[in-house]
Amino acid sequence: MMDGVSVFSEHICELGEGPSYDPATDALFWFDIVNGKLLEKSLGGALKVHDLGLMASAIAIIDEARQLIATEKGLYIRDVPTGKLTLHTPIEADNPLTRSNDSRVHPCGAFWTGTMGKDEEKGAGAIYWFFKGELRRLFADITVSNSICFSEDGAIAYYTDTATGLLMRTSCDPATGLPTGEPKVFVDHRASKGFVDGSVVDRDGVLWNAVWGGKAVKAYSPDGVLLREIAMPVTQASCPAFVGGKADRLAVTSAWKGKDEKQRKLDPQAGMTFLLDIPVKGRFEPRVLIA
């Protein structure tokens, strides 16, 4: 294993995504999107696999008993003790071609959630804002929504359409999580190996990005300068999350999706989830406000 990188879970996900850590239970939650599974594992415990019965990609904490899950039909409330799912806000529920993808909670409690075509159809997805029961579409014509994350003060939002190779940033209203300006290019990744996938922002404003197809996690300064690149033992790292009691470690999901049998043999850990023990000043995800 590479320096500072260890296996957190050997469970193989076809499309591991959407990691989110709950400090109250010391558990990481993540998804195998295309197989409709929610995975749960405390940092010292055994893996739990929850079958959802539909494609889902992201999770947020409402309170001790409820979670909000982004799915192919919209936002569901998950009852933690029973696992029961209840549809709260439909999103593209009448469009069988799309599903949810990258999503994250703004510091004010708003939820930015992205959609995309199940076969990555060009421009089929969008990015939405959900706050206290209200839903608005922010950006349309998105092929693969990714890298949704925010500065700690809520004044900056980041996102990408992975297909473009451009990681964008926009100013935000800290009180509502709504964009207040026109998006501008934060990082132009088009000449680099791989694609911009999921990201998180730490307390110093450093953005940590999983590079799909690039065997790496990259860290960028608040002005978009590449600070460091951490080599990963898998080709398709998909999304990072801060974990641990001090949020000072990174968990990173991965995927084998799109690989044939020969390619999978060359990438045997593809789909596993990893821990990165590197210096990072992380922070916990805010709780989402649904009403």
Cα 238 from Cα 252, distance rounded (Å): 7
Residue spans of the domains in the chain: they are 5-276
Rounded to the nearest integer, the mean pLDDT of the chain is 97
Would you name the residues annotated as active-site residues? 197
* pLDDT at residue 23, as a whole number: 96
Q: Could you report how far apart the first and last alpha carbons of the chain are, in Å? A: 45
Write the CB contacts of 256 (distance below 8 Å, at least 6 apart in sequence): 12, 13, 14, 236, 264, 267, 270, 271
pLDDT tens-digit series, residues 203-256: 999 999 999 999 999 999 999 999 999 999 999 999 999 999 999 999 999 999
Q: What is the homologous superfamily of the domain 5-276 according to CATH? A: TolB, C-terminal domain (2.120.10.30)
Task: Give the pLDDT of residue 65.
Answer: 97
Per DSSP, the residues of 200-261 read EE-TTS-EEEEEETTTEEEEE-TTS-EEEEEE-SSSBEEEEEEESTTS-EEEEEEB-TT--H
pLDDT tens-digit series, residues 82-107: 999 999 999 999 999 999 999 999 99
Cα–Cα distance for residue pair 52/48, rounded to 1 Å: 13
Tens-place pLDDT, residues 121-172: 999 999 999 999 999 999 999 999 999 999 999 999 999 999 999 999 999 9
List pLDDT tens digits, range 1-26: 677 999 999 999 999 999 999 999 99
pLDDT bracket for residue 280 (50, 70, 90): very high
- Alpha-carbon distance 106 to 150, whole Å? 6
Average pLDDT over residues 263-290: 97
The answer to whether the CB of 118 falls within 8 A of the CB of 144 is no
